[in-house]
Amino acid sequence: MRAEGIETVRRILCVFPRYTSSFGTFEHAYPLTDGVQAFMPPQGLLLIAAYLPANWPVRFIDENIRPASTEDFEWAEAVFVSGMHIQRQQMNDICRRAHAFDLAVAIGGPSVSACPDYYPSFDYLHVGELGDATNDLIARLARDPSRPEQQVVLTTKDRLSMTEFPIPAYELAEVKKYFLGSIQYSSGCPYQCEFCDIPGLYGRNPRLKTPEQIVAELDKLRECGVTGSVYFVDDNFIGNRKAALDLLPHLVEWQKRTGYVMRLACEATLNIAKRPEILEKMREAFFVTVFCGIETPDPDALKAMHKDHNMMVPILEGIQTINSYGMEVVSGIIMGLDTDKPETGDALLQFVEQSQIPLLTINLLQALPKTPLWDRLEKEGRLVNDDDGRDSNVEFLLPYDQVVESWRKCMEVAYEPAKLFARYQHQCDYTYSQRIKVPVSPEQKSWANIKRALIMLRNIFWQVGVLGDYRKVFWKFALGRLRRGDIEGLIGPAMIGHHLIMFARAASGGQQNASNYSIRLREASVPAE
């Protein structure tokens, strides 16, 4: 579906802001690939681009790949921007640059929807999801694309059903330059974890696309050149378990039809381990990774943050169950919780060793607006909003320096190369070996795909195996994979492992933020209005 009834033609420039260095965007892996420059295509802006009137010319620029140029701004009649809190300074900088060309700038997405006051310089604030506010914005620009005299705030009251969403305009993005493809099936999560802003922004009753829409989007991603992996960016893939079960047979059939050329990944709550009927279908659909917000192995902490559903099955048992279906678990971990003790860091490192999870995103607790955590800490006078030298806006119960030092130690020890590759070896032996054996499709045997693999192997062998200071650890792992003819099992861990090692070294040395949500050192050189 597109916006209809608009005859006036407007040229719209959609600009996605840069990310700064992050544990979860894998930028240290990009030099080992065949030309990757960014993490995932942004769903929001590409959805809006597809929703605009069919006769409106649209350009999409992801500034993680290249900055919007003078020619781009001179071409445009209005600029659309979207992003998250951590991209706040970059979004304000895009607005400043667009205003230099006297262009009206509209901002939408999760950050402005939660905190409109963060963006005083923008001409239009689009608060909420795709819907009547979007139609109002389009109609206003159709009448007059010039900047309004004062800021206009448009708030969605009537959301467009996800069954009416158009396929995101993947054709506008340079999809071959992304680490992963992305796709969205649902929006919202039924749980109310204290630190999470998803229920407040998108609701507790997940809204859904149809399986037919998802299949059409996967076909579009393939048509545009996505190969390798596609990540379901849903807030919780099993937020509606019946819907997930309805979708999975369609994904299985799609994989069979296309020759299993895509590996799938998603985010889900750990209680997915209690649903073997879902896990079995996910295995058949070739899901290979599940991101679980484990947050902490401490039951008291889980109860305090209202994440009791993580205790529906013992955590280590749940991880092993998911692994047994061929899916690697990636985990989110939070430090700085009120229940943390001086020995919490040591307990976390013990959990890392016991769980054999290679990739854990370890962050300091950060209070986000529109969350119960924010409301509680505000009442307790424990929000720190005026000190950008801190990695967290939370006044911890433990001394701040002690929490940060514990975080740095965990990063250093957990991502010591020998320990990390030992965990990857465990995954090769006990997780990857449980995956279904898929046929080798003509596409996978094509010269283009073979060439891509050779380029990555060359880069890995040279930059890690020759120049890397942990090359002995790498070769011990790599030779084992090569002896088994497991090229994919070599390339994936080598690329991701390199990023984890390099990022963790910077983190333990104090050169990286201890929270993905911290604004400290976030592009300090970028001016913001």
pLDDT tens-digit series, residues 309-320: 888 889 999 999
- Burial state string for 147-161 with b = 16 or more CB within 10 A and e = fewer than 16: beeeebebebeebbe
pLDDT score of 401:
94
Q: Report how far apart, in Å, the C-alpha atoms of 309 and of each of 80, 236, 296, 313, 348 are.
A: 38, 13, 13, 8, 20
Give the phi and the psi of residue 39 in degrees, each rounded to 5. -80, -70
Q: Using CA atoms, how far apart are residues 271 and 429, in angstroms rounded to an integer?
A: 24
Question: Where residue 240 falls among pLDDT bands split at 50, 70, 90?
Answer: very high
Q: Which helix (H) or strand (E) holds 113?
A: helix 110-114
Question: Where residue 516 falls among pLDDT bands split at 50, 70, 90?
Answer: low
pLDDT score of 181:
96
pLDDT above 70 for 48: yes
pLDDT score of 24:
82
Q: Using CA atoms, how far apart are residues 520 and 514, in angstroms rounded to an integer?
A: 10
**What residue ranges define each of the domains in the chain, with the CATH number in brackets?**
12-28+40-155 (3.40.50), 180-430 (3.20.20.70)
Given phi > 0 = left and psi -120 to 50 = alpha, else beta, which region is 467? alpha
Question: Where residue 351 falls among pLDDT bands split at 50, 70, 90?
Answer: very high
**What mean pLDDT comes out for the span 31-52?**
96
Q: Using CA atoms, how far apart are residues 420 and 359, in angstroms rounded to an integer?
A: 8
Q: Which residue has the tokens 């943050």?
A: 305
Tell me which of 117-121, 198-202, 366-370 is least confident. Answer: 198-202
Q: Which residue has the tokens 């740095």?
A: 408
Give the phi and the psi of residue 124 in degrees, each rounded to 5. -125, 130
pLDDT score of 512:
72
Q: Using CA atoms, how far apart are residues 470 and 163, in angstroms rounded to an integer?
A: 49
pLDDT above 50 for 287: yes
**What mean pLDDT comes out for the span 368-384?**
93
Q: Is the dihedral of CA 130, 133, 135, 138 positive or negative?
A: negative
**What mean pLDDT comes out for the span 420-427?**
98
Q: Using CA atoms, how far apart are residues 506 and 22, in angstroms rounded to an integer?
A: 11
Q: Using CA atoms, how far apart are residues 291 and 53, in angstroms rounded to an integer?
A: 36
DSSP annotation of 350: H
Q: Using CA atoms, how far apart are residues 277 and 272, in angstroms rounded to an integer?
A: 10
Tell me the two tokens of residue 436. Answer: 């279904």
Question: Where residue 298 falls among pLDDT bands split at 50, 70, 90?
Answer: confident
HEC sequence for 438-470: CCCCCCCCCHHHHHHHHHHHHHHHHHHHHCCCC
> pLDDT tens for residues 181-218?
999 999 999 888 998 988 888 888 889 999 999 999 99
Nearest to residue 492, comparing CAs of 418, 424, 441, 417? Answer: 424
Contact between 79 and 10 (Cβ < 8 Å):
no
Contact between 73 and 104 (Cβ < 8 Å):
no
pLDDT above 80 for 328: yes
pLDDT score of 227:
84
pTM: 0.93
Question: Where residue 219 falls among pLDDT bands split at 50, 70, 90?
Answer: very high
pLDDT score of 517:
54
Contact between 151 and 120 (Cβ < 8 Å):
yes
**Percent of residues, the chain, with pLDDT higher than 70:** 96
Strands 58-62 and 12-16: parallel
Q: Which helix (H) or strand (E) holds 525?
A: none
Highest mean pLDDT among 200-209, 292-301, 327-336: 327-336
pLDDT score of 125:
98
Contact between 214 and 249 (Cβ < 8 Å):
no
Q: Using CA atoms, how far apart are residues 351 and 99, in angstroms rounded to an integer?
A: 50
Question: Where residue 455 falls among pLDDT bands split at 50, 70, 90?
Answer: very high
pLDDT score of 518:
54
Give the phi and the psi of residue 462 in degrees, each rounded to 5. -75, -55
Give the phi and the psi of residue 158 in degrees, each rounded to 5. -120, 100
pLDDT above 80 for 528: no
> pLDDT tens for residues 128-178?
999 999 999 999 999 999 999 999 999 999 999 999 999 999 999 999 999
Tell me the two tokens of residue 486. Answer: 């497991």
Q: Using CA atoms, how far apart are residues 514 and 516, in angstroms rounded to an integer?
A: 7
pLDDT score of 515:
60
pLDDT above 50 for 527: no
pLDDT above 90 for 484: yes
**When comparing pLDDT for 502 and 519, which is higher?**
502
pLDDT score of 107:
98
**What mean pLDDT comes out for the span 39-59?**
96
Question: Where residue 523 falls among pLDDT bands split at 50, 70, 90?
Answer: very low
pLDDT above 50 for 522: no
Question: Where residue 365 falls among pLDDT bands split at 50, 70, 90?
Answer: very high
**Percent of residues, the chain, with pLDDT higher than 90:** 82
- Burial state string for 163-172 with b = 16 or more CB within 10 A and e = fewer than 16: eebbbbbbeb
- Burial state string for 86-115 with b = 16 or more CB within 10 A and e = fewer than 16: bbbbbbbbbbebbbeeebbbbbbbbbbbbe
**What mean pLDDT comes out for the span 490-517?**
86
Tell me the two tokens of residue 216. Answer: 């059409």
